[in-house]
Structure 1
Amino acid sequence: MRTLPSPLLAVTDRHGHERPLAETVQAILEGGGRWIWFRDRDLDPLARRGLGEAVAARVRAFGGVLTVGGDAALAQTLGGGVHLGGGSGSEAILTARATLGEGALIGVSAHTPHEVSAAAEAGADYVTLSPIYATASKPGYGPALGPEGLATAPGLPVVALGGIDLTRITECRAAGAAGVAIMGGLMRAGDPADAAYRMLTAWEAAGPSPEPRA
């Protein structure tokens, strides 16, 4: 099974706070986060690349791992892996692998346990499964799956996504999640470094402590 860079996947949203996105990302990294999913797909390609370069520079400085939403070519430019949309099959995954190399981390969005299994068979390294809890940011994907929806496929880590906050992290881990993906609780936090540290602490409560804040 592929080892995830961190049990906390920070999902970007530059609209989440008046802070520049790169500053929010740096704060998350200072709080111990090491895995950043750069989304912000509503930007035009040139603007998205510019913002991505600013984010990637912060991630590299902390020795973190960058995942780029939906664009393997941009991921190659920025030095990261890619997260593909729901329904991406083996052809899309193979194309991304050819672009990024065997060492790249390739994820796929899933919304049912069946899609988790399909992604595993297609060669993904991990999936996000959503929505686990009700959330306004994941409309149109049916009712919340609940922690009981966190199925695992052989050799494939499942990252819980959707409506997850500090109080729900332990529940997700207990249900079998390999990690949690969080956007609002980090992007809108007044202190993203503290928020990231608390989330990592909640995940590791029964094991080793996370890295101390920088």
Structure 2
Amino acid sequence: MVEPIEPRLILFTDRRQAERPLDEVVAGAIDGGARVVVLREHDLPPRRRLQLAAALRTRLDQVGGSLLLEEDGALRKCHGLEELFAAAGEGFRYVTLSPIFATRSKPGYGPPLGLAALGRMAVVAPVPVYALGGVDTPARVRDCLDEGAAGVAVMGAVMRADDPARLVKELLTA
């Protein structure tokens, strides 16, 4: 079995930040090159969430992408080195490290770790690290990759974007 190529960008959903229907925003992001989408939306009624997941999965299947349900355990959110090692030991395939920069999505989540901390942790982490939190410009993506991140994880910037396809394409070409 061939292992899939690791994505450069992981998209988290948050319909509360989107100014259009979530499926439309995600479709635009997929058109821009997003191939891994993490469905959050825990407060949706179960039937509606399943319908949304099915629609997104169908769209991602068309481009060889993957839909992850946040609760499925394929991805872990980490905030320090100890959590990165624990996630690797538990077999997580993707981990995020956050927040790297100040973020509008979760402003009270704690002080940003910064690029230097990302670099120190990404180099020694036994699992690919995706920078999350305020990674909303091509320059910030480049900075994170230069520090050793396997890629970036984004949410609010794409959810709020006038043109999610264009933004994702710009982030992926960084």
Q: Deviations over 1:30-70 (max 9, x none)?
A: 11221111111221222211211121111112221111111
Residues 116-159 of structure 1 deviation map (CA, whole Å, 9 limit, x = unaligned): 11111222122111111112423554311111222134540001
Map 1:1-214 to 2 at 5 A. Answer: 5-70=6-71, 72=72, 84=73, 106-139=74-107, 141-150=109-118, 151-152=121-122, 153-166=124-137, 167-202=139-174
Higher mean C-alpha displacement, 3-12 vs 193-202: 3-12
Please report the RMSD computed on the Cα atoms of aligned residues, expressed in angstroms.
1.8
Range with bigger deviation, 36-45 or 191-200: 36-45
Are 2:128 and 2:150, in contact at CA under 8 Å, matched by a contact in 1?
Answer: yes
> How does the TM-score come out when normalised to structure 1?
0.72
Runs of 4+ aligned residues of structure 1 deviating over 4 Å after TM superposition are none
Asked if the contact 2:104–2:156 (Cα under 8 Å) also holds between the matched residues in 1, the reply is no
1:140 and 1:112, CA in 2 relative to 1: closer, same or farther beyond 3 A? farther
Identify unmatched segments of 5+ residues in structure 1: 73-83, 85-105, 203-214
Task: Call closer, same or farther: CA 1:189–1:140 in 2, change over 3 Å.
Answer: closer
Task: Give unpaired runs (5+ residues) of structure 2.
Answer: none
Following superposition, the deviation at residue 15 of structure 1 comes to 2.1
Identity %: 45
Is this contact kept in 2: 1:107–1:125, CA < 8 A?
yes
The number of equivalent residue pairs is 168
Q: Which has the higher contact order (CA 8 A, sep 6+)?
A: 2
* TM-score where L is the length of structure 2: 0.88
